[in-house]
Structure 1
Amino acid sequence: MNLMRGLIIFSGFLLSSILAESVVDLSDSDFDSSVAEYDSALIMFYAPWCGHCKKLKPEFEKAAKSLLKEDPPVVLAKVDCTEAGKDTCNKFGVSGYPTLKIFRNGEVSKEYNGPRDSAGIVKYMKSQVGPSSKDLSSEEVFNNFISKDEVVVVGFFETETDLKGKFIQIANKLREKVNFGHTTSKSVIDKYNYKNNVVLYRPKYLSNKFEPDFVVFDGEESLSALDSFITSNYHGLVGYRQKENMEAFKPPYVGVYYNVDYVKNPKGTNYWRNRVLKVAKSVVGLTLAINNKDDFQHEVSEYGLEFVPDDKPIVLARSLDNKKYIMKDEFSVENLELFIHDFQNGDIEPYIKSEAIPKDNSSPVKVAVAKNFDDIVINNGVDTLVEFYAPWCGHCKNLAPIYEQVAEKLQDEAVSLVKMDATANDVPSIFDVRGFPTLYWLPKDGKTKPIRYEGGRDLNDFVNYIASKATDELKGFDRSGKPKEGKDEL
């Protein structure tokens, strides 16, 4: 008895110690022995100088405190790959920072590909622990489960059915995004009278008079039908869009941005959401969501706005072809209704982020901005090489004089070299620009999709590439890039 009491006290002391540390520091000397003791652990392999690691660290620590309180607890730990954890990092093939891996009982289970904010880490890791669907064995367990501050999906199964099998399959598929539970408890099934069915419950803080607090599945017993049921009902008429779920809100999309805060100001938050819901109940074919203005300031900036005022929301939209629209009138139910109507009918002009069109564009390298992009790049009647750059980019600065030389060398050819500041102008969606500089080749026929330039960055590299790709052979260079007879050597 004393031994058992001592073990309980020791276990409590050990958990308290871990909680105090939040994120456990591991090294080569104790990694294997420590991780083997954890049922589930998320390990961050990092370098102290890494900017992304520094950004992740506070989110990681916040998530660690929350996950250690789970049953069973999930441990978050970190390994310094530049000092005491070099061998461990090499052992697990760490080549970039931060690298996150999920371990179970000392063995790598999978790479972590979830969100990088604390709430997202917690939700993702909770989905990795235990079965994909929680057994709701009693009314108390059931009530606690459906009282969560998030959407939950519950299967009521009086008997073993095909639906139960499909339910477990969909739970396995969506466990990282959705909380699933199931019950075979007679008292629960009799009380709620859902026999062999599935119900989606929305969190209480999103409760409103425009839609039910729960939705009962009434489709065919198939994986696709269950998937569709959950996906179409998960966010309701007006979702709460956050960093960890933003991928679920696809265009055509209308977002309402204001001081969304369900912790400090739930009443004020729902005051505006209810007005959006009033409009949303009669809208079809559109995704609507509320957004915390501070979390999505970068999006607000993309629409040319510096900030969202404190008194009323602003409304921003994206069409299926990724064009941007701003509701210019002050927020009201009537104005939102009119804006959505005009947006869906194509009766408003999109917002284009653009610098002013250059008054003089006679230099060898032409300057494109969003407002003249089609004229300078797409419909100019010649083959074109376009560079998307950022003014602060060192590689772009190094490329600039070479790019200018190429343009001068080919100024008598039916080829245009163009540059555009991608930080000050909207880049058309047909170009995938994720870093700088990014260059694309566009044949003059206009039928071929833009081709990403992956060649070298010196004068000869560019000339050789253009000579080989030109729709019509260049006047001064053959297809290999060599000057034709009588032409000046490079």
Structure 2
Amino acid sequence: MGVRSVLKRALFVCILINIHLGLAVNAASDEEIDDSHITVLTSKNFDEVVKPAKHALVEFYAPWCGHCKAFRADFAAAAKTITALDPSILAAKVDADTEKDIGERFSIDGFPTFKWFEDGEAVSEFSDELSEEMLVEWVKKLYQGGSDEITSMKQAEELLTNENANAAAVPILVIGYYKNGFKDTKDKEYKAFKKLAMAESNGKDVSFYRTSDPEIAAKLGITFPTEKASFGLAIRRNYPGHPETTIQYSAHKVESLDRSAASAEEGATVSEDDLVLEKFKSFFYAEKLADFVLYKDAIEDGGDLVMSIPIDYHMYVVAPPEKFDSESTIATLREISASLRGKMTIIVADPAVEEPGMTPTMYPIASTFAISHESTDFFVGVLSSSSGSRFTCGLPPSVENLDASMLVKCAEDVLAGGGTRIYSSQPAPENPKQGNFTVVVGTTLSDVVKDPNKDVLLEVYAPWCGACRSFAPEYAKLAAAMAGVDSVVVAKMDGAENDHREFEVQEFPTLLFYPAEKDAEPIRVDIADAKELAEFIHKNAKISFDLPDLAPFQDMEVDLSEFSEVEPHAEGEEEEEEGEEDGEEEAHEEADDEYLDPDDEEENSSLDNAGHDEL
């Protein structure tokens, strides 16, 4: 995501917070706020100030952000508290709107953002309710290494019996044992455990604990093959409706660990410290989730349950709730999960489930996989978080029992780069010529853009996209001017409802030019001005034509009714986040594909400067 997109999105996040929370932006005056404990950072001094600091709390803010202004006094008070805790703790702030390179470097996508640095490295980001008290508590936890120490057998018993309130409130406990105590900062296992604990300190579903007592470690599920073992790590899962399970790191093996080791063996620049940390992360992310997750939980707590885990592929097992009453079905799900753990998550969903805030006519699962929301059959599909690619496992109609081996094979095919792809398409219009545009859908795209007798410019847009709405008048002028040129087609396709194996769309709008020749490859166009677009087509067209005059169309009225009736930037950014989750783009070309129709079943010339809404 570019600097402009990051900061544009951050502006929207800040605006939304102010609107919905009704924050007062009339913060205390400069004279009333004692921010003497806060160091001001810029691009010039950031590294020289932050890198030498053993601990640092840095606020990334923007001067125009009302929420930042409202929190200024609270941050000043928090800074005073944490620097009193230990004078070596640095409290600082940087204007990431002015210092855009800093915002880009640390992937700032909202204001204010607070990050914790250890020895100059960003290790954690605050994501809890923003208050002075919560910020201070978070810092205190990180200052202690992100974990609580267990020093007595009584404390261990309380963890196991849920008498410890903090432990009882979360389904996952991570326990680390270090024979020499957690003070040897040079030990690679200790450093890896500490970094993992700090990075995951915001997780509402996990708590980290540490001990240097081998008897306590054994009580908590860490056993050792020899008495010489100096370190142990275990995860204890206790999800409602699932059996309580303790998994020990020494017995754990996932493919990502093998790949990490292979990379190191091949001579890649991977330090031993980094390799151990990656192994711990692989273990944590692979074992964190229950055998399967309910879709409702995955959506409502997605930041902690699914979306924060660096596993790209998710298998959706979709059926009405009564289908999951069978013990054999649950056993099959657990069998599938055991085979795919660490590679693919398992999500159980009802096709008629509604996302919070969505109207009753919108069914995200049904639309994602192009199935009927009234379906009574099992459907199993796979979704990639990164690309939005969707696959079907091809269950026969009215199947009563899931076949674990078949579904594991389906998953492995997808992971290996194969699988049966799902492409969505709206119904083909009876008359594709609508006004000056040719309307394209998934099933008609190839016929239009691969016509060797036409030079074709295609816009892939989305009705919710603010940048598309802003670009629409220019594109309409171009289409009107080109209407008299028989060899040129100005086309558009709703990328939220249609996709195709021919290309990958990662942002809206996307402009692609197809020259008039057999099997033409598309040319990406980043021009947002009608006149310059006409000149581009004239220059690159395979069939020559006289360049039309655009002057008569400069003041033409443009119908924007197909776009959402909201402010372009706010609306675009809001849906941008949904696009990232739903991911209506593609990434791979596959041999086996399916087209499914959901309806059958139910001021600058550069587009980069003018703006995109990224998926």
Q: Matched residues in 2 for 1:446 and 1:185: separation?
A: 72
SS of the residue corresponding to residue 438 of structure 2 reads: strand
What residue is the counterpart of 2:292 in the other structure? 238
Taking a change above 3 Å as real, the CA distance of residues 135 and 358 of structure 1, as seen in their structure-2 partners, is closer
Contact 1:46 1:99 in 2 (8 A): no
Does residue 1:461 correspond to 2:514, yes or no?
A: no
CA positional deviation for 1:205: 1.6
Does residue 1:188 correspond to 2:216, yes or no?
A: yes
What pairs up with 1:319-334 in 2 under 5 angstroms? 322-325=389-392, 329=397, 332-334=400-402
Q: Matched residues in 2 for 1:114 and 1:468: separation?
A: 51
What pairs up with 1:258-269 in 2 under 5 angstroms? none
Taking a change above 3 Å as real, the CA distance of residues 372 and 232 of structure 1, as seen in their structure-2 partners, is same
Match for 2:309: what amino acid?
Answer: A
Structure 1: runs of 5 or more not aligned: 1-20, 54-59, 73-87, 261-266, 484-489
Which residue, out of 248, 262, 270, partners 2:309?
Answer: 248
What residue is the counterpart of 2:544 in the other structure? 475
Which residue, out of 391, 394, 404, partners 2:479?
Answer: 404
What residue is the counterpart of 2:33 in the other structure? 32
Q: Matched residues in 2 for 1:430 and 1:99: separation?
A: 34
**Greater RCO, 1 or 2 (C-alpha within 8 Å, sep 6+):** 2
What pairs up with 1:65-76 in 2 under 5 angstroms? none
Does residue 1:225 correspond to 2:279, yes or no?
A: yes
CA positional deviation for 1:188: 1.5
SS of the residue corresponding to residue 447 of structure 2 reads: helix
CA positional deviation for 1:410: 3.7
Provide Cα deviations, 1:55-80, integer angstroms capped at 9, x if missing partner.
xxxxx9xxx9xxx9xxx9xxxxxxxx
Provide Cα deviations, 1:431-480, integer angstroms capped at 9, x if missing partner.
33544x4322345679997554322332x22111223344x4x5235xxx
Match for 1:197: what amino acid?
Answer: F
SS of the residue corresponding to residue 167 of structure 1 reads: helix
What residue is the counterpart of 1:486 in the other structure? none
Quote the sequence identity (%). 14
CA positional deviation for 1:224: 3.1
Which residue, out of 175, 178, 197, partners 1:157?
Answer: 178
Contact 1:390 1:422 in 2 (8 A): yes
What pairs up with 1:427-438 in 2 under 5 angstroms? 430-435=503-508, 437-438=509-510
SS of the residue corresponding to residue 496 of structure 2 reads: coil
Contact 2:442 2:500 in 1 (8 A): yes
Q: Matched residues in 2 for 1:234 and 1:356: separation?
A: 42
The number of equivalent residue pairs is 407
Taking a change above 3 Å as real, the CA distance of residues 215 and 409 of structure 1, as seen in their structure-2 partners, is farther
What residue is the counterpart of 2:88 in the other structure? none
What pairs up with 1:167-182 in 2 under 5 angstroms? 167-172=193-198, 175=201, 179-182=207-210
Q: Matched residues in 2 for 1:35 and 1:426: separation?
A: 55
What residue is the counterpart of 1:422 in the other structure? 495
Q: Matched residues in 2 for 1:24 and 1:272: separation?
A: 52
Q: State which structure, 1 or 2, has the greater radius of gyration over its C-alpha atoms.
A: 1
Match for 1:133: what amino acid?
Answer: G
Does residue 1:205 correspond to 2:232, yes or no?
A: no
SS of the residue corresponding to residue 467 of structure 1 reads: helix
CA positional deviation for 1:276: 1.7
Taking a change above 3 Å as real, the CA distance of residues 336 and 216 of structure 1, as seen in their structure-2 partners, is closer
Provide the aligned C-alpha RMSD in A.
5.6
What pairs up with 1:262-301 in 2 under 5 angstroms? 275-282=332-339, 287-290=344-347, 293-295=353-355, 297-301=363-367
Q: Matched residues in 1 for 2:518 and 2:123: separation?
A: 42
Provide Cα deviations, 1:322-370, integer angstroms capped at 9, x if missing partner.
1343757457542676455456558986443212223444676432111
CA positional deviation for 1:189: 3.6
CA positional deviation for 1:156: 0.6
Taking a change above 3 Å as real, the CA distance of residues 97 and 450 of structure 1, as seen in their structure-2 partners, is same
What residue is the counterpart of 1:384 in the other structure? 456
Contact 2:147 2:209 in 1 (8 A): yes
Taking a change above 3 Å as real, the CA distance of residues 101 and 290 of structure 1, as seen in their structure-2 partners, is same
Provide Cα deviations, 1:241-287, integer angstroms capped at 9, x if missing partner.
34213253645431235799xxxxxx989997555214433458951
Q: Matched residues in 2 for 1:117 and 1:155: separation?
A: 28
Match for 2:544: what amino acid?
Answer: K
Taking a change above 3 Å as real, the CA distance of residues 445 and 183 of structure 1, as seen in their structure-2 partners, is farther
Provide Cα deviations, 1:28-64, integer angstroms capped at 9, x if missing partner.
3277349979x9899998999x9xx9xxxxxx9xxx9
What residue is the counterpart of 1:76 in the other structure? none
Structure 2: runs of 5 or more not aligned: 1-20, 39-55, 83-92, 101-107, 254-260, 262-271, 357-362, 555-615
Match for 1:153: what amino acid?
Answer: V
CA positional deviation for 1:204: 1.0
Give me the TM-score of the superposition, normalised by structure 2.
0.50
Provide Cα deviations, 1:293-317, integer angstroms capped at 9, x if missing partner.
44485344333456478x9976432
